[in-house]
Amino acid sequence: MDVKNIAKLAHLEISEEEAAIYSPQMAEIVAYVEQLNELDTDTIEPAIGGLTPEGEATEVNRDDAWRESLGQDLALEQAPSAVAGHFQVPKVL
């Protein structure tokens, strides 16, 4: 798996050491998801929604009504970590 190319497409900069760490992890994830190809779905009805005729016939619009927002202070009040008015989250990759 070309982790460096995937990182480039995602506009991420990763070192060779990080690529060496993430490459086998990503390969395991892909192998896990590929197990779905082994499932027999011939007798499974498609889900209603999306681009199915039923989904296209479903009314998905609603009135665009204004309502009060939560507000930055209240939103960050219970955040585990906030820095300079923003949520601080752990690095993903």
Structure tokens, 92: 């993903």
Q: Rounded to 5 degrees, what are φ and ψ at 31? A: -60, -40
Torsion over CA of 38, 40, 45 and 48, rounded to 10 degrees? Answer: 0
Residue-wise pLDDT for 11-44, tens only, equals 999 999 999 999 999 999 999 999 999 999 889 8
Helix (H, G, I), strand (E, B) or coil at 83: strand
DSSP bridge partners of 86? 83
Helix (H, G, I), strand (E, B) or coil at 88: coil
pTM of the model: 0.45
Q: Rounded to 5 degrees, what are φ and ψ at 13? A: -105, 120
Residue-wise pLDDT for 31-77, tens only, equals 999 999 999 988 987 776 667 777 777 777 778 889 899 899 999 99
